[in-house]
Chains A and B, each alone.
Chain A
Amino acid sequence: EAGVAQSPRYKIIEKRQSVAFWCNPISGHATLYWYQQILGQGPKLLIQFQNNGVVDDSQLPKDRFSAERLKGVDSTLKIQPAKLEDSAVYLCASSPGLAPSGDTQYFGPGTRLTVL
């Protein structure tokens, strides 16, 4: 079974530029998460989708971050404009079913973003 795919793996941009990350979850997984992991910290949930609907975006900085999951499969996370403090690894995870739990989250390898 293929795991969670993310691209690109690395991205370097200058502040105020825009960037987008893509995630393809495990086939059939209804729930999709985006996490931000700043160096030296643990992952922090940004947004959670169930199929193509947003379940929780309470920690998403909505003035600059946006995410969508059209058709309930792939998802994109966008930052516009980027700030220096957005430098982090962005992790995508997916979970089967409509009653997900922490032990059924499968993480992708992440996208490492560096903002200069």
Chain B
Amino acid sequence: DQQVKQNSPSLSVQEGRISILNCDYTNSMFDYFLWYKKYPAEGPTFLISISSIKDKNEDGRFTVFLNKSAKHLSLHIVPSQPGDSAVYFCAASTSYNTDKLIFGTGTRLQVFP
């Protein structure tokens, strides 16, 4: 039972344009969400998070949007850069156990010149 889903396995975006990565979840108990970025042969690194009391969190070029009623979150990268090419995982947890992460399957983003 996949509780966190990333339905797009890959995404290709031109440099300078917006990248939008999507994530859906099924468990209504989840109230803390994170995005991780993973380069080949490296471990995932934390990128940005959002708790359910907010619907938007911004950090530089990265913004995460949360739609609780739709159980959907998205990561926007503006403007996209070639160095953003990586696999992006969304993860979900609960506020009383924020380190117990349920990961999605990942979306491979390629930013081309």
- Chain A residues engaging chain B, CB cutoff 8 angstroms: 4, 9, 31, 33, 40-45, 48, 56, 91, 93, 95, 100-110
Contact = CB atoms under 8 A, between A and B. Distances in A.
Interface size class of B (residues with CB under 8 A): 20 to 34
Nearest to B90: A42
A45 B43 contact: no
A41 B32 CA distance: 20
B98 interface: yes
A43 to B, nearest CB: 5
Contacts of A45: 100-101
Contact of A56 (B34, B49, B100): B100
B86 interface: no
Contacts of A4: 43
16 contacts: A31-B99, A42-B106, A48-B99, A93-B43, A100-B98, A100-B99, A101-B98, A102-B32, A102-B34, A102-B46, A102-B49, A102-B93, A103-B46, A105-B101, A106-B45, A107-B42
A31 B99 CA distance: 10
The 7 closest A-B pairs by CB, nearest first: A42-B103, A107-B43, A101-B98, A100-B99, A102-B34, A103-B46, A103-B49
Interface in B41-74: 41-46, 49
**Dominant secondary structure at the B interface:** strand
Interface of B: 4, 32, 34, 41-46, 49, 89, 91, 93, 98-106
A45 B103 CA distance: 9
Contacts of A31: 99
B76 to A, nearest CB: 19
Nearest to A92: B43
A95 B99 contact: yes
A91 B43 contact: yes
Nearest to A101: B98
A102 B44 CA distance: 12
A104 B93 CA distance: 14
A40 B2 CA distance: 13
A43 B103 contact: yes
A107 B101 contact: no
